[in-house]
Chain A
Amino acid sequence: MSGVRIILAVVVLSMAALTGCGTTSGDNGGTAMTGTESSDPEATLRTRPSFEEAQRQYRAAVQDWATQIASKSPGLTWRVKEDSWGGCTGDYANRPGVHTYIYVVFDGPIPDGVWPSALDVVQRGAAQLGATDVTTAVDRPGDHDVIFSGSDGVAVEFGTKVAGVLSAKSDCRLRQADVPASSP
């Protein structure tokens, strides 16, 4: 058994050296840096609009989408179930940044008749937030769940079955209080 383990250890060491493995935190998980981003995560955060600005933008966006979707189905209403924040993960896990999160729930399902146009509202809106990659988890009549995602944590999720649900999460931002005063 020891011999096998030694061989296995060599195999693991070799392939781990090639791929990196282990923790669920820490450094970049293979994400490419954009041309405008620095290798210093905190410096990158300082170049972004504040958390408060993201909060205003995401609230307005999601509420606008929800209103548009509700208008397509008479009697359908929605409410904000969560409007909060969260710590960042990945490169920004041990930084002072936070993301904004807003989540609305409809009081019933989004009918299949309006689903394509509702999805279009969300897809176009998500693209404006930078969430253009699509993951379709469920796509059946009366039963849908789609995730749009972008760089550094931007994500929009939209689904329906018993009730319509719609959420949006921003990338990592600094709170205004944590943004250093700009030099004159």
Chain B
Amino acid sequence: MTVSVADIDRWDAGDVREVFHATRSRAEAAFEASNGIAELPAFGSWGGEASEAAKESIGQTRKDLDAHGNEALAVAQAASQAADDVDEVKGKLATLRSEAESLGMIVDPVTNTIEPGPGAAGADPMEITLKQMQLQPRLDAILAEAATVDTELAAAINMATGAAPIPDTGPPVGPEGLTPTQVASEANKNRLEQQRTTTQARVDALQRRFDDLARQAYMGDTSIATRSEMESLATQLNDSKRYLGDLNAVHDALGKAPETYLTMFDPRTGSGDPVLAAIAVGNPDTASKVSVTVPGVGSTTKDSLSSMVGEANDLRRTTQLQMDRLGIPGSVATVAWMGYDTPPNPIDTLSPADLWTTMTDDQAQVGASSLSSYLEQLGTTSPDAEVTLLGHSYGSLTSSLALQDLAAQGLHPVDNVVFYGSPGLSLTDPAQLGLGEGNAFVMQAPGDQITGIVAPLAPLHGWGADPYAGILPELSSQGGIDPGGVLREGVSSHADYPRAVDGNLRMSGYNLAAVIAGLPDDQLVMAPTPPAVPLIPHVPPGGQIPIPRPTPGG
């Protein structure tokens, strides 16, 4: 359906915002029978698809409210976008009118054409035609844009009335509107999409230039200048493609669960460093339980973030199920925090330098600083939530350092922590973590040689006590044999803890969920405590004797 200049003149972005604000406010009364969208006829005089949708909506009950009386963010976003676009179209039309007037022309709101105005009296007909040829294409473009806006607005109205389905990717908006995390996430997503567009354009431009030069070279151009530019372009192209890969990975990871928020986004544009991001599944602002997972060696935004989000979604569900089973009210949000540069996996890179990096805590220290800031912010936006930090592998060291850093400042945004697959925590006394007694746990698996061989050496190279020597209570990662004689699944390798066999959460996943849910101690499955026998007898320097540890893998 076409939109006329007269229609645009009647548009009022304020109407759009007001109507949708009003319908959102009424979400509290979602179940009242007379919950029609009475205000929508405000669009009735507009013309276009939005007008038709508004007329058909009269008397209709809102159909987009879920059992909690929430409205899908998709509706609010569509309306907000339409309102912004209305402003933009009206602004462009006003500019065109002003320029036309300065040329003695007018915009005819009935015919949608540029016509001679009073100022053009007596003008040369050819001159008038030239001015029309100059201005009419711009008016046509504005009208085309207006038609798109009209379609957007009609879609918003139809979603609000239930005439059109709301995309199931639309997260809920509470009666109070968007929460701080939702607002920040939308801003981050917009920045992400802008970066993707810009970077894709750069990749395309570099590729075109490179292809041109390659053709020249093929045709016989052997100049040093051409070869030099091609070499330079190849480097730039590779860097840009790698950066685009990171950005696309964040975009894809956001699509790995129905309700995701980009809670942190650091594009590090132009630095050559990987993109950093954190993605929440569920809204941390409204959840009563929030977890933050910190990954370890070899984890990257490009290769790991999607899987981390999938695992976070599994963890959210398992935690919610456990809360419901025990009658604990509230909801859950789980955050996949890819907020620091983990040491590259030396097995993948075969680099001695990378191997050395994994043996030092330099990157853990840098990561801990970023993590501390993130957790502090989380404590501000989710002050009533019970927050659990989950540190895997090198990420457990990063997590421990962050907690110690926060505790040293007198800050305590985290309630519980689980360190799993840990090589060491730079910790000699659990009190350094600043958590309540019984709120910090470790977990290990019998097949995990990081905990089996590296962790006992922690005291030797300055990473504190062996985390598994008894300084912290140990959760079971194992199934073992059930009373019916059936072998239960357990974690068997270093990367297995959050994953479960083929993607299922097993005992380790149950225990992580139980801690996040704040279940009572009798619901946690602890590792058995066989007679304490050190796996590797060693004499530490300075007379510091590590606490003998039980057999791992309980």
A-side interface residues toward B, CB under 8 Å?
A: 1, 4-5, 8-9, 11-13, 15-26, 29-31, 81-82, 84-90, 92-94, 99, 101, 103, 105, 133-139, 145, 147, 149-155, 157, 159-165, 167, 169, 171-172
Report whether B314 and A29 are in contact in the complex, using a CB–CB cutoff of 8 Å.
no
Give the distance to chain B from A27, nearest Cβ to Cβ, in Å: 10
Give the distance to chain B from A28, nearest Cβ to Cβ, in Å: 9
A161-B325 contact, Cβ under 8 Å, with A20-B493, A151-B502: yes
A19 to chain B: closest residue by CB: B449
- Distance A72 CA – B118 CA, assembled complex (angstroms): 87
- Distance A85 CA – B314 CA, assembled complex (angstroms): 11
Give the distance to chain B from A115, nearest Cβ to Cβ, in Å: 13
Report whether B325 and A163 are in contact in the complex, using a CB–CB cutoff of 8 Å.
yes
Interface presence of B152 (CB below 8 A):
no
A87-B510 contact, Cβ under 8 Å, with A24-B307, A149-B489: no
Query: A86-B313, A93-B310 given. 10 additional CB < 8 A pairs?
Result: A5-B359, A23-B307, A84-B258, A93-B306, A134-B479, A135-B489, A136-B483, A154-B504, A157-B321, A162-B325
- Distance A125 CA – B450 CA, assembled complex (angstroms): 38
Interface presence of B22 (CB below 8 A):
no
Report whether A26 and B303 are in contact in the complex, using a CB–CB cutoff of 8 Å.
yes
**B residues within 8 A CB of A31?**
501-502
Report whether A159 and B325 are in contact in the complex, using a CB–CB cutoff of 8 Å.
yes
A5 to chain B: closest residue by CB: B359
Report whether B454 and A12 are in contact in the complex, using a CB–CB cutoff of 8 Å.
yes
Report whether B500 and A149 are in contact in the complex, using a CB–CB cutoff of 8 Å.
yes
Give the distance to chain A from B247, nearest Cβ to Cβ, in Å: 15
- Distance A101 CA – B313 CA, assembled complex (angstroms): 11
Report whether B358 and A12 are in contact in the complex, using a CB–CB cutoff of 8 Å.
yes
A30-B493 contact, Cβ under 8 Å, with A13-B346, A85-B258, A133-B501: yes
Size class of the B contact interface (CB-based, 8 Å): 35 or more
Interface presence of B496 (CB below 8 A):
yes
**B residues within 8 A CB of A139?**
482-483
Give the distance to chain B from A33, nearest Cβ to Cβ, in Å: 11
**A residues within 8 A CB of B362?**
none
Report whether A8 and B322 are in contact in the complex, using a CB–CB cutoff of 8 Å.
no
- Distance A24 CA – B496 CA, assembled complex (angstroms): 7
Give the distance to chain A from B482, nearest Cβ to Cβ, in Å: 5
Report whether B325 and A17 are in contact in the complex, using a CB–CB cutoff of 8 Å.
no
Report whether B355 and A13 are in contact in the complex, using a CB–CB cutoff of 8 Å.
yes
**B residues within 8 A CB of A21?**
297-298, 345, 347, 393, 449-450, 493-495
Which among B296, B314, B494, B503 has the highest number of chain A CB atoms within 10 Å? B503
Interface presence of B523 (CB below 8 A):
yes
- Distance A176 CA – B503 CA, assembled complex (angstroms): 22
Report whether B460 and A4 are in contact in the complex, using a CB–CB cutoff of 8 Å.
yes
**B residues within 8 A CB of A4?**
457, 460-461
Report whether B525 and A137 are in contact in the complex, using a CB–CB cutoff of 8 Å.
yes
- The 8 A CB mask of B433-456 against A (1 = contact, 0 = none) is 000000000000001011001100
A135-B494 contact, Cβ under 8 Å, with A88-B310, A105-B324: no
- Distance A171 CA – B487 CA, assembled complex (angstroms): 22
A86-B303 contact, Cβ under 8 Å, with A22-B345, A24-B498, A30-B493: no
**A residues within 8 A CB of B300?**
23
B421 to chain A: closest residue by CB: A21
- The 8 A CB mask of B367-382 against A (1 = contact, 0 = none) is 0000000000000000
Which among B346, B393, B504 has the highest number of chain A CB atoms within 10 Å? B504
- Distance A9 CA – B355 CA, assembled complex (angstroms): 7
- Distance A19 CA – B491 CA, assembled complex (angstroms): 14
B306 to chain A: closest residue by CB: A93
Partner of B310, one of A8, A82, A89, A103: A89
**B residues within 8 A CB of A157?**
318, 321
